[in-house]
Amino acid sequence: MKRAVLYMRVSSVDQHPETQLHDLRSMAAQRGYEIVQEYTDRISGVKARRPGLGDLMRDARRGRFDVVLVWACDRIARSTRHFLEILDEFNRLNIEFVSFRESIDTSGPLGRAIVVIIGAIAELERNLIVERVKAGMRRAKLEGRHIGRQPLQVDREAIRCDRRLGQSLRQIARCHRISTATVRRVLANQPEEQVA
């Protein structure tokens, strides 16, 4: 009987991995795998540091399992390159990779080829989304719409006056509802004749 581990990842704390968990446990039972560990990350896929994945890879290097089951390929890696690195390491460690959604099993050469193709398509899709967002931002800029945070409106003269009256940077910042760093910038940019 092969020893299997399950890896689940959800993008935010308000999502739940139970759907993935149910499907993966069923698949493991159908294939006759013994589940020896379950790893879960509640974090965005693009984040480099994922504790659950780190634990999984550490246990893989220690030879604690034979098969990794994931709900989808994009759950385990943040990019095609990262995905291929993980698969390459699994291959060196003689660990099989099985994806529920894509019905991929790397125990055979066809499964390994399909994984590479699917990973490339997933990365292409993410890159296309990024390009669409950038194009939308360029269009908005050309139309004269402001992109990003509105510029901070501060009464520079009132800030300088408060400082001349002896108020501390913190008091001025609190009064004007701005940061002390902003107060420092305003005071640093005052005309030469006012600098004491």
Q: Are residues 78 and 164 in the same domain?
A: no
Specify if 51 maps to a domain. yes
pLDDT at 104: 82
Domain boundary among 124, 141, 176: 124
Q: Are residues 19 and 86 in the same domain?
A: yes
pLDDT at 24: 95
Specify if 83 maps to a domain. yes
Specify if 196 maps to a domain. no
- Domain of residue 175, residue span: 156-190
- All residue ranges of the chain with pLDDT < 70 are 12-14, 45-48, 115, 118-119, 190-196
Specify if 73 maps to a domain. yes
pLDDT at 192: 42
pLDDT at 92: 84
Residue 3 burial (10 A CB sphere; 0-12, 13-18, 19+): middle
Specify if 57 maps to a domain. yes
pLDDT at 64: 96
pLDDT tens digits, one per residue of 40-50: 988 775 666 78
Q: Are residues 68 and 12 in the same domain?
A: yes
Specify if 134 maps to a domain. no
Look up 107 and say whether it is catalytic: no
Through-space distance between the first and last CA atoms of the chain, rounded to whole angstroms: 81
Sorted by sequence, the CB contacts under 8 Å of residue 76 that are 6+ apart come out as 7, 9, 53, 68, 70, 83, 86
Q: Are residues 168 and 108 in the same domain?
A: no
Domain count, the chain: 2
